[in-house]
Structure 1
Amino acid sequence: MLVTRNAADLCALLVNELYGQLPSRIVAALLARGRSNVRDLALHTSLNPKQVRHGLALAIQHNLVFYQTDHETATTIYEGNPQASYHLARVGKILDVIDRKYGVMAKNLVNDLLMLGHVEVAELVRYHRLKHSLKKGRTNGEQNHDHDHNLDPYPYLNNDNDFKNGDPDDPFNDDSHYVNGNGTAHGIADDVMPIQANEVYDTLAQLIAAGVIESVSATMFQSPQDLKASVEQECTKEFPNGVRGAKVTTEFDAMVKSQIRAIGVERTTMKRKLQENALYEPSNIKRRKLANGGMSNGFAGDSGGSILRDEPNTVVRLNFDKCLVELRNQKLTEHAEDFVGETTAQVFAALLSSLCKKVYRCQHDQHTIMTEEEEETYFTGVRVTSEEIFDNLSPGVDVSAGVGTASEEDIDIRFAEKIRKYPPQIQGSHLHETLDEGDEILGSDDEDYDRSGEHLKKAHANGHHGSIAQNGTKPSRDHSGEGQSSRTEQMRQMRQHLLILAEAKQQFVRHCGQNEWTVDFGPLIQQLRYVELDTMIEDNFGRQGLRLTRILREKGKLDDKTLPAMALMRKPDVHVKMAEMEMAGFLEVQEVPRDNNRAANRTIFFWFFDEARTLKRVLDNVYKSMVRCLERLEVERYNKRNVLSLTDRRDIQGKEEEMLRGDVYNEYLEFTEIEKKLFSQVSRLDDLVSIFQDF
């Protein structure tokens, strides 16, 4: 897979940051040289074959490298996986969103998977119980302080060298003692109970059913291109006379598509089993509260652990595609909050959470492996009902607040209740709907709603009356109807927020059917891209550069004579600004000569904005900036190597202020401050990469 040099350097630095120098050198060689075997890698990395094989095993363990074996020549070819390598920049964001949505134990399980790579379920549960119980239960005076700087992009993963399996069946046969790496027995404190295996299995089942963790099959170690090529090669054997003619080609394509779907079904067997047998809650059951105070996302997880216990050899790993969907939902919720307010944004988050159960990845291409259900979802879109949204809404959200008051004569019911069958289409920077009058449904799915007396309720909501109890606290909302209002009334109030989202200029939500709602992710992400591009252009070229860019984005190609009149600018100023933006790569110019002489006065210069080309250049510049941040971090670590060597000692970790001398401690604080700034900058740059490419 071809990547730019800056992207390849960034991937190598990210792998080096989390997994060390050996896999980093191999990934860098594969991204720079392309597909290679062990002999070529030994030549390009200056490592011996034994070291190369060890590094490849570690890289394959973490899905950083694909491999393909030719059965005729028995030669294995390795290929770098730049997507998985770059995803390491989002480790902190992923752990944060997992913590808030699924709880602390789920976050720790994901953290363990990031450290171990793909691993069997039984081994993961055993490792998780032993590691986190050891952290809690040391009573001999030695504390296990994690080297954690609370940084977004790169949480340091603790490398527990004192991990020992003990009994392979159960390391907690004796609840009162454990054995560490030096063979010394220590007792567990009375107030610290070891983590129960049932809790770990249930949480793991919840994550697998949600798609955050996926089961691993043999086909996942091949690149999608190689996998499709191998399937086509196998199908070709069924046609000894060759694939010729329209009929035979159609049969061949159908056979290839069927086998690829079968591979997709094989990959999701465990997920489907957990969803169908145990993990979906009925809609009328109140959702359980997580340990961190959040709410579950609709998965019960009561018998999911028993299903995983029956298949302990199932190999699992983290699914970054699903994690990107969660990160996209978070970004869109923040975007909506800027325009429609906090309460309506929380309703939008509940809608996105409902859609998230049926959305498996953000991006699709011709090599994406999908099941028949996923293909149908991708091509027909995902819809959810108001009941599903309400069930995913947190009980702490007061849906009676955040809705303004308007008289009935000021509301166009036909427009407010209009159902839009088709998503909006993007033309330049504006969104236009391709909806014929005959396809427009003007009926309402809320025609029986009695609006009498509604104005008084809205007035109370706007004035914060009626939603504040006598003691000044806001009463909590109860889905069961025992709170301040019934379920039906709360659903009607929530529906008003959905209509606000649908009527907004940004069109966050589309009312697509009777009591059905959906989100058109393409136009929304396009708006985010335009916002970031406009901010970037305005910061670099001022308001005039932004005005010219918006005109070209909307009108297309314009000559240099028409553009000054439309921009209300002087012609010399336009020429200077356009030349400056062309040099920076934000605008392009096309020369159309009127005759063969190609004289400047006989040439028409058409200026235009090429969005795809601009995004590629911006992304490459972002990669370069991230590389420089990480390289600067390496320089700072080298300059402070004496101080860091002290803080890495286990007897000093967590007690730096007490153990270090004053001047040494000040140097340590200075380094941590620089480190936080660099990591924060990398995190902000990663937001641009997500918007411009991954979402």
Structure 2
Amino acid sequence: MAQQIFTTLAENGRLARFQIQQLTHIPTRSLRHALAVLVQLHLVLHYTGEEDITFYSVDWRNSYYLTRSNRVISLVDNRYGEGAGKIMANLLQLGHARVGDLAQAFDLTTKPNSGDDPCREHVNAENGARVNGTDTNHMRKTPNTKISTIGQFHGTLRKMLKAGFLAKVNKRIYTPAADLDAEIEEAVISDRFPDRKITGPKKQAEFKSAVNILKRKWRDNDEFTDRDLESKGTIRRPGEPPGKRAKVNGGLTNGAGHDGHIEENGPKLPNDMVLKVNYAQCVLAFRTDRLEQLAESYLGPVTGAVYGALLQALEGKVRARDGDIQDDEGSDDEEDDLPVASTLEVADLLDPNIDLTLGIQGMSETQPLTNGDTKGKKKAKVTEDESIKIEDDEDEHHTNGYTSYEGRNKRLNLVEEHLKILEEHSKGFCKRVGGAGRGEWRVHFSALTDTLVQTTIDETILARFGKIHALLVRMLREKGRLAEKEIGALTLMRAKDVRSVLTELQYAGIIEAQEVPKDTSRQPTRTLYLYFHDQKRVQSLLLQQSYQGMSRTLQRLKQERENYKNAIEKAEMMDVMNEELNQNEREAVMQWREVEEKLVIQVQRMDDQVALLRDFSGKDNSLVS
């Protein structure tokens, strides 16, 4: 029923409830219930106008995000532990939930010290969350423990809220973007333009500025702050230094402590606070993983790990939101608005077990402990008491990332050397912009995203057509518009061969041709054809093809499930009916699981490309409802 309503809204656009009923012939009571479920899951938006008629429309952005549920659970699980992953799984399944209801789902209100596996009946697709998940082993992680106390539960929620992976729910998130913009504009006109005249360049600029200011005000009021904590009534003002406890537990911007410890004695969140998943922040985390893979492919795993730590430090200083405010006049200062991270922050996020000497010329691996002999001929004699002290030092090393002040400086120097290597690379992975904290670094994400898109396009052309086609596209990208003879001269190919390759690429939409007539007759023989490659157009083309591929794969998945329907249903009802599967049914279930895994992995791979082509830049608004 909910599927029928969603399909009707997707095909017909914005509709009132009586219009939906006319098209679907669903009873009124059932229709109300299905619409409530769709709104709860953030798949449908609604808006009630002045005539008290509620219109419903599809939330395309959140509907698409359902395909990333497993990846989001795996991401949070890797960063914040198994308990955080289960909180995220609950919110993905429910759409949004109150803090008190989540605590009940973990059975913490009645058994706060229980060590049982909480919420195991409330999590779907838990085992499938790691089918194609990326596990980055270079960052400090929260110990993979389950949430067993109410303090751990609230501490995990605070971490995820401060990191931006969770967000508070308010009434405005159910309003379509066009209606919300119209409401903001009407409020600005009523307040600042009583004559309702906003014509002219000066008034237009003033009007747009006022609209953006009001948008930011509403957005900031909806953000999670210290006011949302059930503290002793003290509210820390902006700029005021944190308390002693906050300093001890680590004051990183993204809320992650230096040792991954979750503070259990901190203030608790109100039980009536409603939370949802912030998918936009998850997109930043996916971008971090993709850029780290790019750096690793060029500079090796150690330098790639350092770059991943830098990206995660920068990621914690950005609050990504769907439908963020884009300033038209702020393009010149776009790079200055990017966040910066210091070498100290990068070192704190980096795994202390990584040998940072690898990948740096002239550095050797760590030598065994000696008694001070510079030539290393005599080994140190370690007594039993000294060995215990060394073990304590090793524990301190694993906790703090360094065993002494000298070791700390050496580690920071090595991290800085890796960052310099990243800065000097032709791709421009990062840039030094200051000297605070042993150096401040900034990443130009727009340029790197364009580089990733360009690499993806080249790989796609190489896989579909071949080396010659990829060579011609790269040449047109660098040289601009070229005639057929010029292309043949540069590639040392015959005109016949060049023409066939260009025809294939033009038919596939990879390149285009501009006609330049030599005279007014405009005859084909008297026309010059200039070929060129438009990367934005090809990027949009690949994005549409990825959508089509995902849609067809999901349809294939549905059809394959119908082929194994009897065996699947019997396996699902096996515990209730106290029956066992025969040999043929077991083989059918195993075949279905294999087919399902292959198709799901293909969908996730295509989603990786969609995220790169559409989401990483943060400027695409094609799915705004």
Mapping for residues 240-255 of structure 1, pairs under 5 Å: 240-241=194-195, 242-255=197-210
Q: Structure 1 pair 662/484, CA: closer, same or farther in 2 (3 Å)?
A: farther
Indicate conservation of the 8 Å contact 2:9/2:15, yes or no.
yes
Q: Structure 1 pair 280/99, CA: closer, same or farther in 2 (3 Å)?
A: farther
Aligned partner letter, 1:196 = T
Aligned partner letter, 2:337 = T
Find the counterpart in structure 1 of residue 489 from structure 2. Answer: 565
1:28 matched to 2:10? The reply is no
Indicate conservation of the 8 Å contact 2:249/2:258, yes or no.
no
**Unmatched segments (≥5 aa) in structure 2:** 133-144, 230-234, 371-378, 381-386, 617-625
Mapping for residues 340-351 of structure 1, pairs under 5 Å: 340-351=299-310
> Which of these residues, 654, 666, 670, is aligned with residue 587 of structure 2?
666
Distance 1:558 1:640 in 2: 55
Indicate conservation of the 8 Å contact 2:259/2:399, yes or no.
no
Find the counterpart in structure 2 of residue 679 from structure 1. Answer: 600
Normalised by the length of structure 2, the TM-score is 0.81
Distance 2:258 2:162 in 1: 11
Find the counterpart in structure 2 of residue 383 from structure 1. Answer: 340
Indicate conservation of the 8 Å contact 2:302/2:359, yes or no.
yes
1:109 matched to 2:66? The reply is no
SS in structure 2 of the partner of residue 67 of structure 1? strand
CA displacement, residues 219-242 of structure 1 (integer Å, 9 cap, x when unaligned): 111123321211101222232322
Indicate conservation of the 8 Å contact 1:403/1:496, yes or no.
yes
SS in structure 2 of the partner of residue 151 of structure 1? helix
Aligned partner letter, 1:110 = M
Indicate conservation of the 8 Å contact 1:202/1:303, yes or no.
yes
CA displacement, residues 283-313 of structure 1 (integer Å, 9 cap, x when unaligned): 776799xxxxxx85688653785241xx221
Distance 2:346 2:409 in 1: 13
> Which of these residues, 248, 256, 273, is aligned with residue 314 of structure 1?
273
Find the counterpart in structure 1 of residue 423 from structure 2. Answer: 502
Q: Structure 1 pair 577/652, CA: closer, same or farther in 2 (3 Å)?
A: farther
1:268 CA displacement? 0.6
Distance 2:467 2:500 in 1: 14
1:228 matched to 2:181? The reply is yes
SS in structure 1 of the partner of residue 453 of structure 2? helix
Indicate conservation of the 8 Å contact 1:66/1:81, yes or no.
yes
SS in structure 2 of the partner of residue 508 of structure 1? coil
Find the counterpart in structure 1 of residue 316 from structure 2. Answer: 357
Q: Structure 1 pair 296/249, CA: closer, same or farther in 2 (3 Å)?
A: same
Find the counterpart in structure 2 of residue 400 from structure 1. Answer: 357
Q: Structure 1 pair 318/297, CA: closer, same or farther in 2 (3 Å)?
A: farther
Aligned partner letter, 1:313 = D
Find the counterpart in structure 1 of residue 151 from structure 2. Answer: 198
Indicate conservation of the 8 Å contact 2:515/2:529, yes or no.
yes
> Which of these residues, 616, 629, 634, is aligned with residue 540 of structure 2?
616
Indicate conservation of the 8 Å contact 1:350/1:393, yes or no.
yes
1:680 CA displacement? 0.8
Q: Structure 1 pair 672/133, CA: closer, same or farther in 2 (3 Å)?
A: farther
Find the counterpart in structure 2 of residue 74 from structure 1. Answer: 52
Indicate conservation of the 8 Å contact 2:81/2:146, yes or no.
no
SS in structure 2 of the partner of residue 78 of structure 1? strand
Aligned partner letter, 2:212 = K
Find the counterpart in structure 2 of residue 84 from structure 1. Answer: 62
Q: Which moved more, 1:475-484 or 1:53-62?
A: 475-484
1:267 CA displacement? 1.3
> Which of these residues, 114, 128, 141, is aligned with residue 151 of structure 1?
128
Residue identity over aligned pairs, in percent, reads: 27
Distance 1:276 1:85 in 2: 38
SS in structure 2 of the partner of residue 214 of structure 1? strand
Aligned partner letter, 1:226 = D
Find the counterpart in structure 2 of residue 511 from structure 1. Answer: 432
Indicate conservation of the 8 Å contact 2:306/2:350, yes or no.
yes
CA displacement, residues 232-260 of structure 1 (integer Å, 9 cap, x when unaligned): 01222232322244554444334322211
1:100 CA displacement? 0.8
Q: Which moved more, 1:667-676 or 1:336-345?
A: 336-345
1:404 CA displacement? 2.0
1:102 CA displacement? 0.5
Distance 1:586 1:679 in 2: 28
Distance 1:193 1:548 in 2: 55
1:74 CA displacement? 0.8
> Which of these residues, 201, 221, 242, is aligned with residue 266 of structure 1?
221
CA displacement, residues 487-527 of structure 1 (integer Å, 9 cap, x when unaligned): 11110111111111111222222122221101111121212
1:334 CA displacement? 1.9
> Which of these residues, 125, 130, 137, is aligned with residue 103 of structure 2?
125
Mapping for residues 326-345 of structure 1, pairs under 5 Å: 326-345=285-304
Find the counterpart in structure 2 of residue 633 from structure 1. Answer: 557
Distance 2:23 2:150 in 1: 46
Indicate conservation of the 8 Å contact 2:43/2:59, yes or no.
yes
1:538 matched to 2:462? The reply is yes
SS in structure 2 of the partner of residue 604 of structure 1? strand
Indicate conservation of the 8 Å contact 2:21/2:28, yes or no.
yes
1:379 CA displacement? 5.8
Q: Structure 1 pair 147/694, CA: closer, same or farther in 2 (3 Å)?
A: closer
Q: Which moved more, 1:566-575 or 1:250-259?
A: 250-259
Distance 2:24 2:564 in 1: 28
Q: Which moved more, 1:618-627 or 1:477-486?
A: 477-486
Aligned partner letter, 1:359 = V
SS in structure 2 of the partner of residue 306 of structure 1? coil
CA displacement, residues 660-690 of structure 1 (integer Å, 9 cap, x when unaligned): 2222211111111111111111111111111
Distance 1:619 1:194 in 2: 40
CA displacement, residues 386-412 of structure 1 (integer Å, 9 cap, x when unaligned): 12222222222232333222xxxxxxx
Q: Which moved more, 1:395-404 or 1:595-604?
A: 395-404
1:601 matched to 2:525? The reply is yes
Distance 2:322 2:369 in 1: 42
Aligned partner letter, 1:518 = R
Find the counterpart in structure 2 of residue 60 from structure 1. Answer: 39
Distance 2:608 2:183 in 1: 36
Indicate conservation of the 8 Å contact 1:29/1:41, yes or no.
yes
Q: Structure 1 pair 42/530, CA: closer, same or farther in 2 (3 Å)?
A: same
**Unmatched segments (≥5 aa) in structure 1:** 1-21, 156-191, 289-294, 406-457
CA displacement, residues 344-401 of structure 1 (integer Å, 9 cap, x when unaligned): 1221121111111112228876569xxx9xx999861111111222222222223233
Q: Structure 1 pair 363/220, CA: closer, same or farther in 2 (3 Å)?
A: closer
SS in structure 1 of the partner of residue 400 of structure 2? coil
Distance 1:580 1:90 in 2: 35
Distance 1:540 1:379 in 2: 40
Distance 1:196 1:303 in 2: 8
Distance 2:321 2:613 in 1: 12
Aligned partner letter, 2:311 = L
Distance 2:335 2:228 in 1: 22
Mapping for residues 395-474 of structure 1, pairs under 5 Å: 395-405=352-362, 458=363, 460-461=364-365, 465=367
Distance 1:39 1:101 in 2: 46
Q: Structure 1 pair 355/377, CA: closer, same or farther in 2 (3 Å)?
A: farther
Aligned partner letter, 1:197 = I
Aligned partner letter, 1:261 = R
SS in structure 2 of the partner of residue 237 of structure 1? helix
SS in structure 2 of the partner of residue 605 of structure 1? strand
SS in structure 2 of the partner of residue 561 of structure 1? helix
Indicate conservation of the 8 Å contact 1:133/1:194, yes or no.
no
